[in-house]
Amino acid sequence: MAAVESTSKNTSTAISLPGLGRALITAGKISEQTAQEIAKKTAANRSLFIAELCKEGSVSAREVAEALSHMFSTPLLDLDAVDQHQLPQGLLDPKICTTYRVLPLSKRGNRLTVATADPTQQEASEQIKFTTQLNVDWIVVETDKLSHWIEQANKSVSQSLDTYGESQDFEFDDVKLEESTDDKDTAAAEVEDAPIVKFLHKMLLDAFNMRASDLHFEPYEHHYRVRFRIDGELREIANPPIAIREKLASRIKVISRLDISEKRIPQDGRMKLKVGPDRVIDFRVSTLPTLFGEKIVIRILDPSSAKMGIEALGYEPEEKKRLLDAIQRPYGMILVTGPTGSGKTVSLYTCLNLLNQPGVNIATAEDPSEINLPGVNQVNVNEKAGLTFAAALKAFLRQDPDIIMVGEIRDLETADISIKAAQTGHLVLSTLHTNDAPTTLTRMRNMGIAPFNIASSVILITAQRLARRLCPQCKQPADIPHEALLEAGYDESELDGSWVSYKPVGCPACNNGYKGRVGIYQVMPISEEIQRIILRDGSALEIAAQAKLEGVRSLRESGLHKVKLGQTSLEEILAVTNG
């Protein structure tokens, strides 16, 4: 071991040594003069003491690590013996890792094990503890190997994002960052990271081109995934590095005008994407705090979907005629029912688009308003501010409306006002969450609405589902047993051999044999006989039986008809409808 050299250097010109320098002098690894020279280089180059020490060559990185491990009774680890891909991701902000030259190794309880070449870094320890709210346990490693690992980690993040390719030419439309505090300005600037921006743009454009309805950005403990909902099914698209989760969430929040400093509660926002000179796509953004970060779901809202025409929705001729006859009535209530994601909003807006004429005053209340339709007065419900569906409806009735659309009837007050509006000369369109058309009437009865009010106001109910449409390029005839077809709901008379059922196969042009979706509808006008059943408080089974006598198909029957037409498969109809 080298002896410690004495020095006659004037104390007035001496530089204050860092803790690492003093520790190595005490261990006899370097002289005080050498330490002073390295400290001067460190100050001049704005570099780390340990980096200049190893560059100077008087002592090796291995010797420094061994000395520090012995002095501070800290475990020594050879990074060459560790598989970098097996280390947990996302335990520490990459910015902290780069600034303080540290590497998180593991987490147990409230303790975080961190690799460092310099365990004397008190500032690093405090910063990590403040950021993670965890106590730090140091592991000493060699500085050259640590630097290589950190560089590789940073490079892998950028490369992983770059592998998703360059996006096409498009830009965000009308993005204005309205931040009021210095902290928010700083945070907004930090998320302007080129790989993050490129990755987000790529995901949004890919989702649009793949006809996805939703994007899911999901953080987990050891990985991060992006899924698209395509034709009603979630499909995993990408697994970016988990280290990007904070920056990606912040980027999405900034362009959605959300509070990027608030991570404890859910938030909702909107953003726009310009995909051409004349086409802008709206996105609805929802954040949700989870165990390992914020999950973000982005709903794609294409305004053109409301203008594609009723023919594109998949109504059969008799169903379309019933619906068109109902919306041309001067007053009454039309209800669209079905689960979330069954296309109720698109159906309502298709009807509104048909009714949207210069001489008609249309008002809508939604939570939130998903599709922008020029010429329609759209209101976003804000329950925190007191603007409920009921409050919006009361205001509408003072605004001289002809047609009112209520996003959803959730309670008795909203239902009561809607029915009164339908009875006093207004056409009211709304939605309910019920399984089929007949049960909608009993659901309203259970909400407390008098049978007379139901019978005198409701003129038509449409229940709907969305089934995946078979790909026309690869679908093949399916060999389904006769008994299975009977069990599914076909009559013996229908199985006459005049039609062929098809099954999905899969090709490059589709998604596992399916491409797009087709609507399954039960369109039930409220006839005089059904009104009598309602007035005597009849059951949903009685209403369904009467509707069948009047030629109204059930959802299952409507779906089986789509199978006969070759539009979808029998297994898909069995999955989306009840028997």
pLDDT digits over 451-508, tens only?
Answer: 999 999 999 999 999 999 999 888 999 988 989 999 998 988 888 888 899 999 888 7
SS3 26: helix
Residue 183 pLDDT: 43
Give CA–CA dist 134/56, Å, rounded: 36
Give CA–CA dist 568/570, Å, rounded: 7
Residue 161 pLDDT: 58
The single-letter DSSP state of residue 516 is: E
Closest by CA to 547, choosing from 440, 431, 438, is 438
Residue 529 pLDDT: 95
Residues of the chain with pLDDT under 70: 1-21, 27, 29, 42-48, 50-52, 54-58, 84-86, 88-90, 153-193, 275-278, 303-308, 579
Quick count: other Cβ atoms within 10 Å of Cβ 350?
23
Q: Are 460 and 334 in contact (CB under 8 A)?
A: yes
Give CA–CA dist 486/502, Å, rounded: 16
Quick count: other Cβ atoms within 10 Å of Cβ 155?
10
Asked whether the whole model's pTM tops 0.75, one would answer no
Residue 58 pLDDT: 67
Residue 42 pLDDT: 67
SS3 359: coil
b/e burial code for range 462-477 (CB count within 10 A of at least 16 → b): bbbbbbbbbbeebbee
Quick count: other Cβ atoms within 10 Å of Cβ 321?
12
Q: Tell me the residue type at 38.
A: I
Q: How far is CA 332 from CA 344, 526, 530, in A?
A: 19, 11, 16
Give CA–CA dist 576/313, Å, rounded: 17
- Neighbouring-strand partners of residue 430: 335, 406
Consecutive H or E run containing 204: helix 194-209
Dmax (CA) for the chain in angstroms is 112
Q: Tell me the residue type at 7.
A: T
Q: How far is CA 383 from CA 192, 287, 346, 372, 378, in A?
A: 34, 18, 24, 21, 16
Residue 530 pLDDT: 94
Percentage of the chain with pLDDT > 90?
29
Give CA–CA dist 494/46, Å, rounded: 84
Phi/psi zone of residue 309: left (φ > 0), alpha (ψ -120 to 50 degrees), beta?
A: left
